[in-house]
Chain A
Amino acid sequence: MTDVTGPEGKRRYPLRWHVMDALEGAAGVLWPRRMAPFTGWLLLAPALLLVAVLVLGMVQIAESSLHTLDRSTFLPSEDYTLENYRTVADSATYLKVIWRSLYGSFLTVVFTLILAFPYSYILVRTNSAFTRKALLVALFLPFFIGQVVRAYGWLIILGNAGLVNDALELIGVERQRLLFSFPTVVFGLVQYMLPFAVLLLAPALTAIPREVETAAGSLGANWARVLWHVVLPMARPGLIGATLVVSTLSLTDFAMPAMLGGGSQDFIANAIYDQFFRTADQGLGSALALLLVAIGSLLVGAIFAAFGAGTLAMGGRE
């Protein structure tokens, strides 16, 4: 940059200015200024493309849900029929599995929030940097371990010859079956969901000024009433967000029921898997998959209807 010629020859401008000007110029050629009103759409394009692909997939699944499987050729039937949906509606098994998924995800939400709330509260409010770091590490270490590996870990820890039963035997309690039941599945889900819930709750709690809690105390509320009347209502966006994420993730979960359920605690995703991969009945599997999407959407819709989309702290507010 020493041999600068032309009208700017006398002055030495910072290198960064030259670089930025060159980049601006290049950007101007690629995306002219008059296109500026469409810049937002350009940035949205990848997301829209992704959604479009998803919608296409959904359409395909919807189409295949309208054909039954012909077991003499193992090809889908030619004509359109609602038979697959009738099969689901008439089946006690599927209703049971759907109910189990909903109930399981409800319990998971309740227990996850009960555990995540104090965890996030201490994480946000503690004055000790060490405590905060320790809590974060304890939270995220398992987060980076996949769901399947974690479920496998529980198989080892909770097994008949596992750590927990060893400990029980030491204190004189007989070894017992801790695995392969509905509570175990919910337990596994809660443990899996905890970091998600804390991640969503912590910012909501950070947004509550400490002074507001102090004020509530000076106005006559003991800690329980501060929690009930002030902290919980003010943490509502975080609670709703965590409820949405945890409920939809556990409603659609596959690995925990498959691994910790001992085969008799299927959720909807397991039933879908069975149809696609075990009995090769793509039509029935598709019908179940669409049903799961519908149930999930209804759930999210119901939460929005009850609490409003603004509860996620999205949209403008002064």
Chain B
Amino acid sequence: MTNLKGSVSRRTILRAGAMTGGAAMLGTLPATRLFAQEPEKPSEIIVRAWGGEWVEALKKGVSDPFTEMTGIAVRHDLTEDNEIQPKVWAAVAQNRIPPIHINWDTTTNATKSALRGVTEDLSDLSNLAETTDLAKPVGLEGYPIVNTYGYVYVLAYRPEAFPDGPPTSWKDLLDPKFKGRIALYNDGIGFHFPAQVAGGGSLEGIPDDMGPCWDFVEQMKAQEPLLGEDPDFTAWFQNDEIDAACTISTNALAAKRNGVPIEWTVPVEGCKFDTDGLWIPKGLPENELYWAKQYINFAITAQAQQTWLDGLGLPGVVPGLTPPEGLAGDPSYPTEPEDFEHLIRISSAVQVENESEWFSKFKEIMQG
């Protein structure tokens, strides 16, 4: 950035190279639109993202190649997903231009925004034709969100704390020796559904008969678990604060890649499976909306997914991706129908409607 002239000339060269290469990569885009009628390019587009491993993977797999192809710089806004939401909602309500072009969001949170009507419809993305069912949000009209990958809330554990082999059941965590050595998300997300099974209930009981879930959470409360968010889990494993956690496999993978001896498993009761997606807030100028859509369209190409999801260690929404090293057949990387047998998937609609109730119930027990 110190040599403005140099950077400009470098970008020009990249763009020139990208035009030909880009045509091949964005193969399904009509060539005429790309070359002749494409709207004016914004100098940059802003993508809200999660920090750490997450944004690194996105940058490498999607944003950098996108910039190379189009010449549009991508800025990553690391505002918490929960904090960007009211800002976007307020901007749309007041007819202002929203603060971001694309939100990388949990499908559950994104569904709230979709229900509120602040998302652009993405049904016309050409690459959607190539994707699996996972890309389509369940229970919503069209594509207000495009799911981009799935993930599992695994039971991550420190092998040395389980000398008799990996835990097979969530109930194994009730052993007194794990008192104060377990971590859960502070709103209990990911833990409710396996707890429902572990507490002796059935998945059909969601959302109307959640008693077994709360019984099991009560038992877990006696173990005095730590409650945190994504970055906490990696840190806690690294600092030897915990022996086991219910967390997204990516956090466990990050700790493992940082040299912490850690494994993960899907116990008999199962694990929650969920998706993340990308969406575009309403209120963008026409040309910026066009290029934001092109970004998402690119994110669901096999090429982008391969690199992006290698970084995250998660299964994508296009068939035929090569699993990252060591994750083939891993319970946190489901690809075949039988892989999904032990994974619990609840529709976003049910989650969105009941989540805050589950959340406050979980808080009530944990804050007690």
Given contacts A74-B115, A278-B187, contact A177 B180 (CB under 8 A): yes
A93 close to chain B: CB less than 8 A: yes
Contact B239–A161 (Cβ < 8 Å): yes
A97 close to chain B: CB less than 8 A: yes
B367 close to chain A: CB less than 8 A: yes
A228 to chain B, nearest CB (A): 40
Query: Interface segment, B77-85, B128-136, B164-172, B249-257?
Result: B77-85
Query: Interface segment, A17-25, A238-246, A260-268, A289-297?
Result: A260-268
A114 to chain B, nearest CB (A): 28
Partner among B80, B115, B117, B366 whose Cβ is within 8 Å of the Cβ of A277: B80
B364 close to chain A: CB less than 8 A: yes
Chain B contacts for A92, CB-based, 8 A: 364, 368
Partner among A72, A74, A93, A263 whose Cβ is within 8 Å of the Cβ of B113: A74
Main SS of chain A's interface residues?
Answer: loop
Chain A contacts for B85, CB-based, 8 A: 277, 280
Partner among A72, A93, A161 whose Cβ is within 8 Å of the Cβ of B367: A93
B122 to chain A, nearest CB (A): 19
A244 to chain B, nearest CB (A): 28
Contact B356–A281 (Cβ < 8 Å): yes
**Cα separation A73 to B116 with both chains bound (whole Å):** 5
Most buried by B among A75, A266, A274, A278: A278
B151 to chain A, nearest CB (A): 19
Partner among B83, B86, B366 whose Cβ is within 8 Å of the Cβ of A264: B366
Contact B356–A263 (Cβ < 8 Å): no
Contact A160–B115 (Cβ < 8 Å): no
**Cα separation A100 to B368 with both chains bound (whole Å):** 10
B53 close to chain A: CB less than 8 A: no
Given contacts A91-B364, A96-B368, A160-B241, contact A263 B115 (CB under 8 A): no
Chain A contacts for B162, CB-based, 8 A: none
Contact A73–B117 (Cβ < 8 Å): yes
**Cα separation A277 to B226 with both chains bound (whole Å):** 21
Contact A74–B239 (Cβ < 8 Å): no
Given contacts A72-B353, A74-B116, contact A179 B228 (CB under 8 A): no
A interface footprint on B179-196 (CB within 8 Å = 1, 0 otherwise): 010000011000000000
Contact B227–A263 (Cβ < 8 Å): yes
A291 to chain B, nearest CB (A): 16
Contact A280–B86 (Cβ < 8 Å): yes
Chain B contacts for A161, CB-based, 8 A: 239-240
Chain B contacts for A155, CB-based, 8 A: 235, 239
B219 close to chain A: CB less than 8 A: no
Contact B227–A264 (Cβ < 8 Å): yes
Chain A contacts for B186, CB-based, 8 A: 263
B346 close to chain A: CB less than 8 A: no
B355 close to chain A: CB less than 8 A: yes
A interface footprint on B53-94 (CB within 8 Å = 1, 0 otherwise): 000000000000000000000000000101101100100000
B331 to chain A, nearest CB (A): 26
Which residues of chain A in 235-273 are interfacial with respect to chain B, using CB atoms and an 8 Å cutoff?
Answer: 262-266
Chain A contacts for B239, CB-based, 8 A: 155-156, 159-162
A174 to chain B, nearest CB (A): 13
Contact B240–A75 (Cβ < 8 Å): no
**Cα separation A92 to B355 with both chains bound (whole Å):** 19
Most buried by A among B187, B359, B360: B360
A282 close to chain B: CB less than 8 A: yes
A180 close to chain B: CB less than 8 A: yes
**Cα separation A278 to B186 with both chains bound (whole Å):** 10
- 4 additional A-B pairs beyond A74-B116, A262-B228, A263-B366, beta carbons within 8 Å, are A71-B353, A93-B367, A277-B82, A280-B86
- List residues of chain B with CB under 8 Å of any chain A CB: 80, 82-83, 85-86, 89, 112-113, 115-117, 180, 186-187, 224-228, 235, 239-241, 352-353, 355-356, 359-360, 363-364, 366-368
Q: What are the 10 closest A-B residue pairs judged by CB atoms, nearest first? A: A263-B227, A279-B356, A277-B82, A263-B186, A93-B364, A74-B116, A262-B226, A161-B240, A74-B112, A159-B239
